[in-house]
Amino acid sequence: MNGRRRPIPPPPLRTGGDLLRHANREMRRAGVSHGQGFLGPEEESLTLLGHALGLAWEDLPSCFRRPVSAEAATRFLELLRRRTEDRTPTAYLVGEAWLGGLRFKVDERVIIPRSYFVELIPEVIPAWLPPAERILRVADVCTGSGCLAVLLARRFPEAKVDATDLSDAALEVAAENIAAHGLKGRIRLHRTDVMRSLAGRPRYDLIISNPPYEPEKVLRRLPAEFHREPPEALVSGKDGLDVIRRLLREAASSLLPHGALVIEVGGLREAMAREWPRLPVCWLPTADGSDCVGLIHAADLAAFTRPGRRASTRGATGSRRKARGRSRGR
């Protein structure tokens, strides 16, 4: 004996529970970011374990106390390595993401679905519109994986949905998701800049968009995981408003009189208020209190963007007051 203590070997990783505890510790130690559809390391570890074992989420408890095969444990530890060292987001490692209880295929061609629209499509947005069976035309601008187009088609069963994106690669993924949900006959994909190729088509009852909205300099500061997502899905020019500017103009001439434009804008609420102080936006309530999805009534949008009027000095029409009354009543 030379008096030196031997390092204590780590406990063996035998059961599913051992692997999960190990992964939670490793993710905390590595300081991974969980902002891409997960709330914390526990959800991510469970998702990776389910993938490594080929088990559905609801069947995972069966492995918590049981030994896991050496092959499955190796697969899991490799996924964990890619998550903590390469910072590959969990959704890309397992090839899927869930939104609104639905599965969507994802890979590095598309942003990982996590939009606030999942909270608003079921009840809040329909409350502003005629009854769902009278909603016949809907557009999802900047569709990415197609996730919101699918949620819209399911919520408005009589509607045809036009979904746009500028990225061919994203549209390939969207096409797969639309087919997987059996909605090829109702959702049409358009490769176009914002809404350009939709001009001249019959007008819409509802246009929604979760556009890229990060200012260029914000992207540089985001954790490494976000740099695995397509930059064009996150960034929109110097101030983040490039796509939103276009969308306000193009949606104005594409909405039916009773329609609405609904946009997710992340941290840009103040920037929008500065840029368009008189644009009447109703900020819809979201569970985390960020309330960063704005609804603009067709009439307000048309008045706001009318040629010859300076948008930034336009006053609100009556719709905002009406909107407030309606949402308070719910």
Ligand X SMILES: C[S@@+](CC[C@H](N)C(=O)[O-])C[C@H]1O[C@@H](n2cnc3c(N)ncnc32)[C@H](O)[C@@H]1O
At its nearest, how many Å lie between ligand X and the CB of residue 98? 12
> Of the candidates 36, 45, 47, 143, which one interacts with ligand X according to CB under 6 A?
143
> Of the candidates 52, 80, 148, 272, which one interacts with ligand X according to CB under 6 A?
148
- Give the largest Cα separation in the chain, rounded: 91
Nearer to ligand X, 144 or 240 (CB): 144
How many angstroms separate the CA atoms of 273 and 294, rounded?
A: 12
CA atoms within 13 A on the CB side of 260: 24
Q: Which of residues 236-265 bind ligand X (CB under 6 A)?
A: 243
At its nearest, how many Å lie between ligand X and the CB of residue 21? 32
How many angstroms separate the CA atoms of 58 and 183, rounded?
A: 27
Stretch that binds ligand X, among 66-74, 139-147, 254-262, 307-315 (CB under 6 A): 139-147
Q: What separation in angstroms does the CA of 322 have from each of 203, 277, 282?
A: 23, 19, 10
At its nearest, how many Å lie between ligand X and the CB of residue 42? 23
CA atoms within 13 A on the CB side of 204: 28
Q: Does 316 bind ligand X (CB under 6 A)?
A: no
Stretch that binds ligand X, among 22-30, 143-151, 216-224, 289-297 (CB under 6 A): 143-151
| Strand ranges (E), 38-186 | 96-99, 102-105, 137-141, 160-165
How many angstroms separate the CA atoms of 90 and 106, rounded?
A: 11
Q: Which of residues 84-123 bind ligand X (CB under 6 A)?
A: 111, 113, 115
At its nearest, how many Å lie between ligand X and the CB of residue 293? 11
How many angstroms separate the CA atoms of 275 and 229, rounded?
A: 28
Residues that bind ligand X (CB under 6 A): 111, 113, 115, 142-145, 147-148, 164-167, 170, 193-194, 210-212, 232-233, 243
